[in-house]
Amino acid sequence: MIRRALAAETDTVRDVVCAAYAPYIPRIGKPPGPMLDDYARRIAAGEAWVLDEGGRIVGVLVLEQTADGFLLDNIAVLPDCQGKGFGHELLLFAEAEARRGGFAEVRLYTHALMTENIALYRRIGFVETHNITENGYDRVYMAKRL
């Protein structure tokens, strides 16, 4: 079940994100941006969602409606739950939320060194829109028409 995260789950949300992104630290040379996010603020703003599998939070999604469009700001799945379709389920949910909000596309970004993520997003219909250095990270922005 995918549902909005609760304030009491802030630490769990952060833990899921940190576990999912920790393998990238050696490649990037520092913690990826999602590991530094303020999840209490995200939850209070209604932007954080969790994938609850039998009472265990196995995935996290951060969605933002911005002036530029609908942003899938973060998607994270616990390492021991990866490869089981949870990420796909979260992506489909994000697309459905964008449609519900009247958006014609979903935007996201990832670190330029997270090449496997870029390849995955391309396989499911995202196209690269631009690359920038932002907040000290080399980011690849992508979008998918709905």
For position 127, what pLDDT does the model report? 98
SS3 per-residue string spanning the chain: CEEECCHHHHHHHHHHHHHHHHHHHHHHCCCCHHHHCCHHHHHHCCCEEEEEECCEEEEEEEEEEECCEEEEEEEEECHHHCCCCHHHHHHHHHHHHHHHCCCCEEEEEEECCCHHHHHHHHHCCCEEEEEEEECCEEEEEEEEEC
What span, in angstroms and rounded, lies between the C-alpha atoms of 54 and 42?
Answer: 24
pLDDT tens profile 58-108: 999 999 999 889 999 999 999 999 999 999 999 999 999 999 999 999 999
For position 67, what pLDDT does the model report? 86
pLDDT tens profile 13-53: 999 999 999 999 999 999 999 999 999 999 999 999 999 99
Beta strand 137-145 with 2-4 is: unpaired
pTM of the model: 0.94
For position 95, what pLDDT does the model report? 97
